[in-house]
Structure 1
Amino acid sequence: MTPSAQVSAVIELLLNIQNQRHAPADATANRFFRQRRYIGGGDRRYVSAQIWEILRHYRKLQWWLKRVGSPINPRMMVSTFLVLSGQSVKEVSKLFSGEKYAPLPLKQNEELYLLSLEGKSFFSKEMPNAVKFEVPDWLYPLLEEQYADSIETELTALLEPAHLDLRVNTLKGDDRSTIKEKLKLEGIISTEMQFSPWGLRVEGRQSITSTNLFKEGDIEIQDEGSQLIALMTGATSQMRVLDFCAGAGGKTMAMAMMMQNKGHIIASDVSEVRLGAAQRRLRRAGAFNVETHQFVEGAKWIKRRIKSFDRVLVDAPCSGTGTWRRNPDARLKFRQIDLAELIAKQADILRSAATMVKEGGRLIYATCSLLQQENQYQIEQFLENHPDFHLVPPDTAEGLLPKEFTQHPTFQLTPAQYKTDGFFCAVLERKVSKVELS
Structure 2
Amino acid sequence: MKAYRASILRFAPDHSAIFEEDGLLVVGPDASGTRRVQAVGPYRTLGPKYPGLPVEHLPGRILAPGFVDMHIHYPQTDIIGSPADGLLPWLENYTFPAEKQFSAPAHAEEVARFFVAELLRNGVTTALAFATSHPASVNALFAEAQKNHMRLITGKVLQDRNSPDGVRDDTEQSLLDTEALIQRWHGVDRLGYAITPRFAPTSTPAQLRGAGALAAQYPEVWVQSHVAENLGEIAWAKELFPDARSYLGVYADFGLLRPRAVYAHCIHFDDADRALMRDTGTVAAISPTSNLFLGSGFFDYEGADRIGFGYGLASDVGGGTSFSPFHTMRAAYYVGREGQTKPGLSLSPQNLWWQHTAGAAKALGLDGVVGNLAVGCEADFLVLNPQATPLLARKAARAQSLDELLFGLIILADDRAVERTVISQAK
| TM-score, length of structure 1 as denominator length | 0.28
Larger helix percent: 1
| TM-score, length of structure 2 as denominator length | 0.29
Q: Which has the higher contact order (CA 8 A, sep 6+)?
A: 2
